A and B are shown apart, each in its own frame.
Chain A
Amino acid sequence: MSLAIKESELLEKVIFLKKTNLFSSMRTIELRTLASIAERFTFTKEDVVVKEDDVGDSMYIIESGSVRIEKKQKGGKSILLATLKSGEYFGEMALFDAELRSASAIADEECTLLNIRSDDLHDVLLDHPTIAIDLIKTFVKRLRNTTSGVSKER
């Protein structure tokens, strides 16, 4: 068909984002806006996606493959915090503050990631404030789950 490659790629991203927990409740038209600022990157095994203590300015959503989240200990040895798979995300705090990365993310195998930069997102939010509300809702839901998890452990 006559659909441009660029538009096909955009719609592919929308379909993928709709399947992730973070964006599943968002309307497709909003996802289209997000997809337009989400840049696709490919990493090979053991590539460092983000490095601990670097200044963070973007978040990543794993489209395919898996990513290890590691944190350095006092002795310089790293411990594994989590292994994230397709549909999961990391670095979302950097969208709203400019603090240093609290852990490193390393490609556990060849993987494709979507990257959303905070500057681009801020521009989008000015024209699409409902995206901000949806993002806040998702983050609050995640915080609630964490809080309830902690209170259960107690």
Chain B
Amino acid sequence: MEKETYKLRFFLLLFFTFCSAILGDSAAEALLLANFPAKVVPLMYSVNAFFLFLFSLFLMSAIDRVDRGKLFLNFLFIHAIIVFLIWVAAISGVRALFIPLFSYSYITKIFIFLLFWTLANDIVDSRKAGRDFPFIAAGGTIGAIGISFTIPWILKIISARNLLLVWSMLSVILGFSFLPINKNFKRFFLPAADRGGKKKVNLKNIFGDVLFVMKEPLLSNMSIIYFLLFFILLNQHYTFYTAIKDRYKEAGDLATFLGYFNGISMALTFILQVSLSGFLLRKIGSTRSMLLMPVAFTLIFATLTYQSLTSTLESNVSVTLYGSVTLTMFWFLITGVGIRIAFFDSFFSPNFQIFFSSLPHDIRGRGKLVIEGVIKPMAMVSASSWIFLVTPRLSFPVNMMILLGASLLMVLFSIRLRSKYTESLTEYLGSFRTKIVDNEIGENETDIDISMLPQIETQLKTEEIEIKLFLINQLSKLNDPKVFDLISRYYPEAELRVKCGIIKAFSGKTDRKLKDVFLSAFKDKTSELFALSLRALSSFDEEKIYYQIKGFIRDSDPLISTEAINALWYKAGRSDKKIYISVLGKLIFGNDSKGVICGLKTLKGKSDEPTIVSLFEKFMREREELYLKDRAVWEAFLNVTASGISHKATAVLLSLSPSLGAKKRKDITATIIHICRSGYDIFKMKGVLKDGDPVHRLILLDVLISILKHPDDDTISLLRKLAKKEADAASRELLSMDVLKRRSVEPAVDLLFNAVKEELLNVHIGNIIRIAALLDTSDRVRSVMHRLNHENEHIKARAIEVFDNCGDVAINRLAINLLDRVNEKGNVSKKGKETIVSVISKYMKNSNPWLRLCAEYATVSI
């Protein structure tokens, strides 16, 4: 069985689960009420809460450490045997068993549902859960509606006691329907391999689990929401029972009303589940959907408060709690409960499960059990105590106001859930690094001081070359005669690379001892050391030295000649500079790549001379082939460009980008960032950002992400327009992909399809995500943006959930919808106007040469 078919299997499994649970509940309740007074029921709720607590505490330490599939299966068969034995006892006349049966029915129902959703969470990620769980939940509702109408019919044939036998049989069916699921998905249900030995189930560990879950930001917030929900829900239900008991005195009337009420509310739930629920959860996202239930509560209790207050004012009599209720008020109460049931089963319950899907496997089960086994019983006991102790002492409007307050509190925690959800998810993605940490990393440079010289002198003799070079650089910052002494002592024994490092680091300093060092390098036969000494010696401002250096301007070694130019440039007159520029021109337009590289490096820092700028711009235009082919020349070219030598450079680099690979595009981005940091205003490229090639936008957006802290209002407006433009372009590409997909049996068309898909993800959708990162002040989008298309489905789902819950909602959802559409591209959607010929022709004119080549090749195959 493929993973995709799990949906139908779980739909059927939940169908039988509900059939079994509702039948068990009805049988247990009927047998209890038929044999004991009704006042025992509220007491049993407290007993249930107590057992639920104990049961969950036990399971809490076991659920993540056992094979969940095996646990579910064994439980179902043991449960069937127990119910069968109770049936045997019941037909033998043992009535006392009906009291524990009531609690047993409740606890087993909770356990089965809890384990069912945990198993479903184990199989799917949170994104898939959002799409599939409403459908699965509908299976349960159909089962509930079906069994509700079937029970009266069954009771015409058999007695209530014999319902126990049917219950036992349904549990066996449930077990058998789970067998194939367990067989095919067993690996998902196994405990995580790295969890070592089994942990002992004792109070200390259980308490530790509860504390652990309560410290988890998402789970603790979910716990508060769950507590408030059950507190409000039980109070509302108590009001509901009081109202219907007030209106219907006879048991038959009560049963009829409840039958209709249950049937209608379940039908409404079903309609919502199959129509609106999945669509809405997907459309507005999981965290925003969590607001539906508390908002519904708020509206219900606001209406009831208003209604009860106006009734009180009209009658001028304080309406005592749960006294006679007017017909209008009665229907408001009933409608409120109906809406609550429909919203709970359609939106809250399946959506609540989605949050568990995003949690790591090891805390998912424990989290669920703490909420179901500790928080829920706490809410039940609190609500019961409230109903018994406080409710009778307050007026009806005040009670409604309190429930309204609790609903508003629930709204507040549901809003807070968004930030807690992203906090937890980014923690599990392990990627969030704030700007503060980045700044600290940037600033955390080691400094040395003069007292450390003896120690450094020893290290310069013993350490690796890289460390020696680091120490030399640090020493050059001290500018102290003691340092110069040390350097002149150390220089003769240093390795060649270290000697070069010394000359480079101390070049520009004019200490007498250093001059001896530089002169020693000047006499060295090694060309690099000699070349470096030229610039170092030029700092001493001595005519004799200048004269000597001048002799090397036309040296055959480009390193020496360019270092000589560097040494003399700032003292040179117009005619000398003309000569130097002519030498540099010959070098950068020559055939020797070493000469080109040395020449290019020499242009750096001389942009005050217009001829140098013109020379560089000519190089940019005429030597494109060379610098794109030779990596060392490319690096030297970018190095000079990054110094901001020409204002035309950004446009030239952008024009090159569409035909380049990812690495060179990144190089260009880094270069433009440098140019901007040296004062270039990137918004001069606004026109390119607005109307240029998507690849140009990609690079400019990456630049903006690096240099722009907070975009101003104009930029925000521009970015939003750009996102819309990219989304339109992406939609057009998706239509073209549909056409290509239909012909993807042809390998060449399939290749084009893949190339278009990559371009769509990287460029158009990638640009929307870049815009989302720019618009997000929390930094979270930046931390997850590279994982939105991760190959691991769970990581991808978590990243998308974070993305969906921070920054600019409209822009983020635009990107998510497009990502979903791309990922669903295995299935062809509706037919557009384009034909395979028109699509291929379109890509033959694309600015991306790779797409053009693939399109050209595809024409051969069609």
Contact = CB atoms under 8 A, between A and B. Distances in A.
Interface of A: 1-3, 7-8, 11, 14-15, 18, 25, 27-29, 32-33, 126-130, 137
A3 B755 contact: no
A11 B754 contact: no
A15 B754 CA distance: 10
Contacts of A25: 791
B860 A128 contact: no
A112 to B, nearest CB: 16
Contact of B751 (A3, A11, A33, A137): A11
Given A25-B791, A128-B663, A18 B754 contact: yes
Contact of A3 (B664, B850, B856): B856
A8 B664 contact: no
A7 B850 contact: no
Given A25-B791, A27-B758, A29-B755, A3 B857 contact: yes
Contacts of B661: 29, 33, 127-128
B402 interface: no
Given A1-B859, A128-B663, A32 B754 contact: no
A67 to B, nearest CB: 23
Given A28-B755, A28-B758, A29-B850, A127 B664 contact: yes
Contacts of B8: none
B627 to A, nearest CB: 13
Interface string B729-755: 000000000000000000110110011
7 contacts: A1-B859, A2-B856, A11-B857, A14-B751, A15-B747, A29-B758, A130-B663
B758 A1 contact: no
A149 B758 CA distance: 33
A137 B97 CA distance: 61
Nearest to B664: A127
A2 B662 CA distance: 28
Nearest to B791: A25
B433 interface: no
A126 B860 contact: no
Given A11-B748, A29-B850, A128 B662 contact: yes
B854 interface: yes
A127 B665 CA distance: 11
Nearest to A127: B663
Nearest to B758: A27
B153 to A, nearest CB: 51
Contacts of A128: 661-663
Given A1-B860, A7-B857, A29-B661, 18 more contacts: A2-B856, A3-B853, A11-B857, A14-B751, A18-B754, A25-B791, A28-B751, A28-B754, A28-B755, A28-B758, A28-B850, A29-B850, A127-B631, A127-B663, A127-B664, A128-B663, A130-B662, A137-B791
A127 to B, nearest CB: 5
B751 A1 contact: no
A126 B853 CA distance: 24
Contacts of A127: 631, 661, 663-664
Contact of A18 (B662, B751, B856, B859): B751
Contacts of A126: 631
Interface in B619-663: 631, 661-663
A11 B854 CA distance: 8
Contacts of B663: 127-130
A135 to B, nearest CB: 14
Contacts of A29: 661-662, 755, 758, 850
A27 B751 CA distance: 10
Contact of B853 (A11, A129, A137): A11
Nearest to A32: B850
A8 B853 CA distance: 9
A7 B854 CA distance: 10
**What are the 10 A-B residue pairs with the smallest beta carbon separation, nearest first?**
A15-B747, A11-B857, A28-B755, A27-B758, A28-B754, A29-B850, A1-B860, A15-B751, A3-B856, A1-B859
A28 B857 CA distance: 14
Interface string B823-862: 0000000000000000000000000001001101101100
Nearest to B752: A28
B857 A8 contact: yes
A4 to B, nearest CB: 10
A112 B379 CA distance: 71
Nearest to B856: A3
Contacts of B751: 11, 14-15, 18, 28
Interface string B650-690: 00000000000111100000000000000000000000000
Nearest to A3: B856
Nearest to A129: B663
Contacts of A14: 751
A7 B856 CA distance: 10
A101 B230 CA distance: 68
Nearest to B750: A15
Contacts of A8: 857, 860
Interface in B749-785: 750-751, 754-755, 758
A32 B854 CA distance: 10
A15 B758 CA distance: 15
Contacts of B747: 15
Contacts of B755: 28-29
A25 B789 CA distance: 12
A131 B851 CA distance: 19
A43 B663 CA distance: 36
B758 A3 contact: no
Contacts of A15: 747-748, 750-751
Nearest to B762: A27
B747 to A, nearest CB: 5
Nearest to B848: A29
B183 to A, nearest CB: 17
Interface string B464-492: 00000000000000000000000000000
Interface in B530-554: none
Interface string B579-590: 000000000000
Contacts of A2: 856
